[in-house]
Amino acid sequence: MRSDAEEGQPLVKCAAAIVRDDRVLLIRKRGTTALISPGGKLEAGESHLDCLRRELSEELGASLASATYFGTYEDVSVFDQGRSITIVVYICDIAGDPQPHSEIEALEWLPVTCLPGGESTFQRRVIPDIARASGRC
């Protein structure tokens, strides 16, 4: 159970933007409908890259090959009852063929597009920013 102090603090998530062939990998947790980025919440004392390594292994059975900081996004969590969330996004290359593991039910490769879509921050804001940064818009 979270303390009142924790309730008021924004969640911090490290997110992996994995782009291949003009598509970005999103995941869907078991029992949910929202497509989100691979990654997760920082554990105590963990760096962003350590978090990405752990989460990519747990969620996708893949290893982090490289990560480049892309941006930080403030929004409202789609899972935590409207709680504020800070998402630190890294463009990542992975080693291995990603497969759903742990609480992940499905993987989807969505086109990198300039148009926002979906309910997650990743679909509404990050993917269009990736498209703009790569000159697609």
The amino acid occupying position 76 is V
User: pTM for this one?
Assistant: 0.90
What does pLDDT average to in each consecutive run of 10 residues of the chain (137 residues)? 51 96 96 94 94 98 98 89 90 96 96 92 96 93
Residue range(s) defining the domain that contains residue 122: 4-133
Q: What is the pLDDT of residue 6?
A: 53
List beta partners, residue 45. none
Q: What is the pLDDT of residue 7?
A: 57
Q: What is the pLDDT of residue 78?
A: 82
- What's 115's domain CATH number? 3.90.79.10
Q: What is the pLDDT of residue 83?
A: 86
What whole-number distance in Å separates Cα of residue 12 and Cα of residue 109?
A: 24
Q: What is the pLDDT of residue 3?
A: 38
How many structural domains is the chain composed of? 1
Buried b (16+ CB within 10 A) or exposed e, 38-71: bbbebeeeeebeebbbbbbbebbbbebeebeebb
The pLDDT tens digits of the residues spanning 63-91 come to 999 999 999 999 988 887 778 999 999 99
